[in-house]
């Protein structure tokens, strides 16, 4: 009798240490005809095995902007359990653009290696890594949120590593109680920020990330330029819609110039600052639709639709999936205008399997994705970006698949830990 050759435990390619190859990657549908949530999505040269992404989450745990082993463990936990894209938290492009002294950064070449360590591991698991590039603007130099009463803020002084005298914004308007009063940025400051984004994007590519997102939401620097409430400038960066979006346009152009043609570029915006009842003019959904129509021409591939964060008087009560309807309205208006090359991401307290499935389910023959929102409207999106639910359940992708009755690939080492049939998951 001839001997039977033993199977080889193949190593992951291009990895400086042994770890078994994951092929296909965890989170890949093995069932036939899976729902859209578990079908692949290709953006430029990058293919994602499902439509569930980990949204950026600030951890206030970096060492002078450098990611640490905490971030390696934190981010990897979601990625190797099946999320098709895991996005590193807001990384400031300049030292004074951090939200807190312990925020992540990418203003220095020394910050490349810790990110590269994470990208190497995620790639060894056949998964994708993104990074959100940001500048906090007038919301910079504050203390980590768990040090204070929920919903409160306090300026981080120099004694705790803050920079209260170097906080800057579109205009010299304080965000609210507990925040520093910013200086109105000079043109030199603005150009410094644009260059900061350009250089941070270059470093991100060097660090091996697969996707870059520009943070234009939640009242941080770019968001504050977009809003006529926080931007009272009288130069070419203030006043008209075209002027208020100029900083974002400049940043997008700078980033797109230095990243590979095949790398996806995302932009996150606050689709509304929820101030329609509080001010005569504000940044609203109509403004976002107007902006969205311009983004494909600038090389943006996906609009990540969030909301709020630019004013302490905002009028909104969050609830599950509360921003999904807005994402759908934007998508609908883009399609009406014949614009089909800007993908839409939905985000906002997405916690349940069935809701995630419906958000990205294909429409009736039109290739869109639909969900009926709380107002009876039809929302449309291409991916769901989930944050806090991953903190509760790092294996959320696997749980969603189980709840929906879909067989998906598990990490090879965890295969014997699959959910037992009949379990209440």
Q: Which CA distances in Å does 129 have to 47, 48, 73, 89?
A: 12, 11, 14, 11
Per residue in 345-403, pLDDT tens? Answer: 977 656 566 666 666 665 433 444 443 433 334 446 889 888 889 999 999 999 999 99
Domain ranges of the chain: 36-417
Per residue in 62-79, pLDDT tens? Answer: 999 999 999 999 999 999
Q: For the chain, count helices (H), then strands (E).
A: 12, 16
The pair of structure tokens assigned to 300 is: 């943006």
Quick check: 302 and 331 in contact, CB under 8 A? no
Report residues of the chain scoring pLDDT below 50: 319-321, 363-379
pLDDT at 401: 94
pLDDT at 112: 98
pLDDT at 325: 75
Give Cα 274 distance to the centre of its chain: 20
Quick check: 135 and 220 in contact, CB under 8 A? yes
Grouping H, G, I as helix, E, B as strand and the rest as coil, residue 116 is helix
Quick check: 128 and 85 in contact, CB under 8 A? yes
Q: State the pTM of this model.
A: 0.93
- CATH number given to 36-417: 3.20.20.70
Taking residue 13's Cβ as centre, other Cβ atoms within 10 Å add up to 10
Grouping H, G, I as helix, E, B as strand and the rest as coil, residue 215 is strand
What does the chain come to in residues? 425
Q: Check 220, 237, 402, 414 and give the catalytic one.
A: 220
Q: 294-325 burial by CB neighbour count: b if 16+ within 10 A, else e?
A: bbbeebbbbbbbbbbbbbeebeeeeeebbbbb
CA distance 34 to 214: 31
User: Interhelix angle for 112-124 vs 69-79, to 10°?
Assistant: 30
Q: Is 414 a catalytic residue?
A: no
Q: What letter would DSSP give residue 126?
A: T
Q: What letter would DSSP give residue 46?
A: E
Alpha-helical (H) ranges within 266-348 are 285-292, 295-298, 324-336
């Amino acid at each position: 009798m001839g001997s039977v050759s033993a199977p080889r435990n193949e190593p992951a390619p291009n990895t400086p240490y042994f770890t078994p190859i994951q092929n296909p990657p965890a989170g890949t549908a093995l069932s036939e005809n899976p729902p859209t949530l578990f079908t692949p999505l290709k953006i430029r040269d990058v293919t994602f095995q499902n439509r569930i992404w980990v949204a950026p989450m600030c951890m206030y745990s970096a060492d002078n902007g450098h990611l640490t082993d905490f971030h390696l463990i934190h981010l990897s936990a979601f990625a190797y359990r099946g999320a098709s894209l895991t996005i590193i938290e807001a990384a400031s492009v300049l030292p004074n653009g951090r939200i807190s002294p312990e925020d992540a950064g990418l203003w220095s070449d020394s910050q490349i290696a810790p990110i590269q360590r994470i990208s190497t591991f995620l790639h060894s698991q056949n998964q994708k890594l993104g990074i959100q590039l940001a500048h906090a603007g007038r919301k910079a130099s504050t203390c980590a949120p768990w040090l204070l009463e929920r919903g409160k803020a306090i300026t981080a002084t120099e004694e705790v590593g803050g920079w209260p005298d170097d906080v800057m914004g579109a205009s010299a308007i304080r965000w609210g109680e507990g925040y520093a009063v910013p200086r109105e940025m000079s043109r030199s400051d603005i150009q410094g920020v644009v260059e900061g984004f350009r250089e941070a994007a270059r470093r991100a590519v060097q660090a091996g990330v697969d996707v870059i997102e520009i943070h234009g939401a939640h009242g941080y620097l770019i968001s504050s330029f977009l809003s006529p409430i926080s931007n009272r400038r009288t130069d070419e960066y203030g006043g008209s819609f075209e002027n208020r979006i100029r900083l974002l346009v400049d940043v997008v152009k700078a980033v797109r110039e230095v990243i590979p043609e095949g790398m996806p570029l995302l932009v996150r915006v606050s689709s509304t600052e929820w101030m329609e009842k509080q001010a005569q003019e504000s940044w609203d959904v109509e403004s976002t639709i107007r902006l969205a129509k311009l983004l494909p021409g600038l090389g943006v591939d996906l609009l990540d639709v969030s909301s709020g964060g630019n004013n302490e008087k905002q009028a909104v009560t969050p609830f599950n999936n509360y921003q999904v309807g807005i994402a759908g309205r934007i998508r609908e208006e883009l399609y009406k205008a014949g614009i089909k090359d800007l993908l839409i991401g939905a985000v906002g307290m997405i916690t349940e399997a069935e809701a995630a499935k419906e958000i990205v389910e294909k429409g009736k023959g039109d290739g869109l994705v639909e969900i009926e929102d709380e107002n009876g409207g039809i929302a449309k999106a291409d991916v769901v970006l989930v944050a806090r639910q991953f903190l509760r359940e790092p294996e959320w992708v696997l749980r969603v698949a189980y709840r929906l009755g879909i067989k998906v690939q598990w990490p090879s080492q965890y295969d014997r830990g699959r959910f037992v049939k009949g379990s209440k998951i």
